A and B are shown apart, each in its own frame.
Chain A
């Protein structure tokens, strides 16, 4: 089903705006995940966590 790119949905966003916002959400999640993974690696190395 094709979505009209000019349609304004009930949230007030168009398809392009929604996908642009979602790109930022995904990017933020990736950065957060990378920092969290690094923090957990350091915690694993330098603390008794999981040893």
Chain B
């Protein structure tokens, strides 16, 4: 009993540690973004050394040639050249490299800027802060789940299987789940390959192998996003009402869902933990979908907006991948009898009473018969 208490304390500490890691990581990301943005808004353009090995090292300020407010090389339709007003060739190209814009005759004014200097900040953010954030969050999640498995092992069905089953999810519910799940897994893997492929996959596959993989992966990522969106919409339509807060949620959360200690709090069809997963998928998945769609159409926004969308797309996707790893664990290896809910759609009666006793009672009352036996509290 004392050992159980110590284990529970250790596991609780690990959870708190992960929470601090997550919050700290987000704060670090935010601070980094703010610092980079402040550097830009102050007029100074300093390509970070980590952004690109060819990045210029010296900080500086964009100084319009001739001291004016705008740069114009010759007139409309002329390319920058050495005949420009009062500027040396080296200085002109240095200013271009730092984000100075000229004038063009084309329709798209954005094309007047040959090099978007904010891209240095975005590239540094993606290749260092987001890269490290994702590695820590994913590794931390897996470490906590490993600790949890060591402590709790596979959560059994109290009293064993009854041999009687009840329907938990019908065909449409399972179809919506798997549509969303399959598309998200592929989206997650291809997204991780985009972020970590250079360091993880190229050493294994080689550059040509990685390029071939990512050519397919990029198209899969772009277009499977729409399947993911359809899945989210279906889940909202089917499960929204059952995922609204109810009187069982607070007690369930206070008891840790029965995951850490013995005893299983009552719950309806979805317990508070499952509701958190649902709302994570809807809200975070919704934002990821929106930013993803915006990234598909480069002409609909400025490059700076696109970089902002890419930032949130990556950060939120990494958080959601961590959430879904935990969801997959508890729905398969972590709990006996759980996978059948989404596998065959039918669960053992004892499992249902153990984890969703209020739902079993409601279902029995709806069918006009008393539930067989008491709920296994």
**Are A and B co-members of a single complex?**
no
Please report B residues at the A interface, Cβ cutoff 8 Å: none
Give me the interface of A with B, judged by CB distance under 8 Å.
none
